[in-house]
Structure 1
């Protein structure tokens, strides 16, 4: 596989890597005819994220010649700590990098990333990878009874009001309103911490379908990275969810790329007498 990213798209690619670094410590690189997919899953499998860049996103996109079937491509897993430093300073990339070339060879275990910079400077990075089947989350968004669509800026402004150390937030919906509040299961700490809650009217959304009242709690860290990416492109974010204990999915779609993050939600105990699991997992499996 060989692809060339030109101009400002290098910064877009870097933002995706940064968003995925908030999810997991490993990144799956999955080239196919549909484009180049970047995927990551948290160690607890409570969060999964995927960015798929269309061939139109690249100046050049080629899968190369596979040894057995033309549809075969190398699917590899990289350590995030080896990839993230290359895209950490996006301002410098935008100012100095003219294009970026990424190539993967089936005959080697290296991903080669080259930055072609101003004044004829070329920076080459060789990252060792482990060949793995592509990662895929098992989530049927079309079965969700609640569907929202809102500008990324709206969701970003709401999330900004929660402190950086906030780990989880609770989203509650009825056909008449949506509210977000900080979640804390410790009654003692509630007396010491600031409680934040924000409410939104359905008119503030581009699409608002709530067929069942829901209250779900999910991690905020992974969502922050996703919203940071979508805000920079001013894209509307679709949200699919159901009841507590079932995953919630945030997604955006454009001609050049699509992005999805799936987060597990906590199961709220119905009473003090019943004991239920603290949360659920996002089922991320290898796709054969």
Structure 2
């Protein structure tokens, strides 16, 4: 396998690596004559990202044999790209043969300097593969990255999980519609019920999709999804750097959320690259059963200017955020596992948990039900890992 790229393609490639590094630690590379796949999964297996490149994305692209796959540390790849992109004439990545122990990365700079790096391949690469049909998600919206960044700026930077509530405008009761100005989408900071909520800042933001979104599709009863903010912001930065809109697709609580760049085309078939981020969501809905979400008493009324639309309030005057820990809450760690079947070795206890068994939290003895698992299959010998339904 060998490919070379330069100019704008090199800038996009560097953004892809940066985004992948903010999701997981290991970069799985799968190459065939038709496409090159980069994908990673985070340590808690609650986030999976895949980026595909077509041969036309590169200045030169060759693959010997049917397919090639290997795995390297993303930290090492990021070290290669520490050289400013503006100083690089072109980048060449070379794997001499499928069983080669190292991948060679070559930087040819404008000043005539050539830098070569050899990154060791993992002996047993943990190759994951996830296939989801974008057409099967009933609800979705498209938003400009800068607009979504502006909306998220209303929340604390230490926020770990966020809830999105989608409502059909025509289904709102008259009193609720008058109270929130007919706004059909709500962003809400997730509050861990195991923590003292009296000391935390709780923010709710109501949005008119006609004002903020380029596209909004939702029919039927209100639904909500709660997922990690960290991976959302990583993908948001990636789409903003690539100057493309972000497409977010979802179904309901407990089902995965899918994010993808929106190239302005129906399926992105004319783009030389594509990306997909899949986030597991909390199993328990944050909506009250049978009730539409209503603003809390004393909340700030909606305003046509989104900058003034922050309806956040404090339960107590002395608010403090737990920003020291980067780990997600216990709920996310337990409910957001994509699939225990993707582990190299599965203990009997993990297997029982993957089948939806109710487990006990040792801290408080409270019962927590695991998230509905998503199917991730490991690529095995004799299978072509490139043939997938990830991109319909």
The TM-score, its normalising length taken from structure 1, stands at 0.87
1:117 Cα deviation (Å)? 0.9
Partner of 1:149: 142
Deviations 1:165-223 (A, max 9, x none): 22111111101311112112136543222222222212132221112421111011111
Find the partner of 2:93 among 80, 98, 102.
Answer: 102
CA contact (8 A) 1:76 1:133 kept: no
- 1:22 and 1:85 map into 2 onto residues whose CA distance is 14
4+ residue runs over 6 A deviation: none
Of 4-13 and 186-195, deviating more is 186-195
| Structure exhibiting the larger radius of gyration computed from Cα positions | 2
Unaligned runs of 5+ residues in structure 2 are 170-183, 264-270, 290-365, 384-392
- 1:118 and 2:122 are equivalent in the alignment: no
1:133 Cα deviation (Å)? 7.5
Q: Sort the Cα spacing of 1:283 and 1:84 in 2 relative to 1 into closer, same or farther, 3 A.
A: farther
- 1:183 and 2:190 are equivalent in the alignment: yes
Partner of 2:50: 50
Q: Sort the Cα spacing of 1:45 and 1:110 in 2 relative to 1 into closer, same or farther, 3 A.
A: same
The TM-score, its normalising length taken from structure 2, stands at 0.65
Q: Sort the Cα spacing of 1:93 and 1:10 in 2 relative to 1 into closer, same or farther, 3 A.
A: farther
Of 230-239 and 124-133, deviating more is 124-133
Mapping for residues 217-256 of structure 1, pairs under 5 Å: 217-252=226-261, 254=263, 255-256=271-272
CA contact (8 A) 1:45 1:282 kept: no
Deviations 1:234-287 (A, max 9, x none): 21222111110000000115512111100000011789xx95425455543224
Partner of 1:135: 128
Mapping for residues 35-114 of structure 1, pairs under 5 Å: 35-63=35-63, 65-66=64-65, 72-87=66-81, 89=82, 92-105=83-96, 106-114=98-106
CA contact (8 A) 2:247 2:260 kept: yes
Name the SS of the counterpart of 1:135 in structure 2: coil
Q: Sort the Cα spacing of 1:282 and 1:220 in 2 relative to 1 into closer, same or farther, 3 A.
A: farther
1:83 Cα deviation (Å)? 1.8
1:102 Cα deviation (Å)? 0.8
1:107 Cα deviation (Å)? 4.2
Q: Sort the Cα spacing of 1:16 and 1:172 in 2 relative to 1 into closer, same or farther, 3 A.
A: same
Of 253-262 and 166-175, deviating more is 253-262
Q: Which protein is richer in strand relative to its size?
A: 1
Partner of 2:160: 167
Partner of 1:69: none
Unaligned runs of 5+ residues in structure 1 are 67-71
CA contact (8 A) 1:245 1:266 kept: yes
Higher relative contact order (CA 8 A, sep 6+): 1
- 1:261 and 2:277 are equivalent in the alignment: yes
CA contact (8 A) 1:20 1:39 kept: yes
Partner of 1:10: 10
Name the SS of the counterpart of 1:185 in structure 2: coil
Q: Sort the Cα spacing of 1:79 and 1:211 in 2 relative to 1 into closer, same or farther, 3 A.
A: same
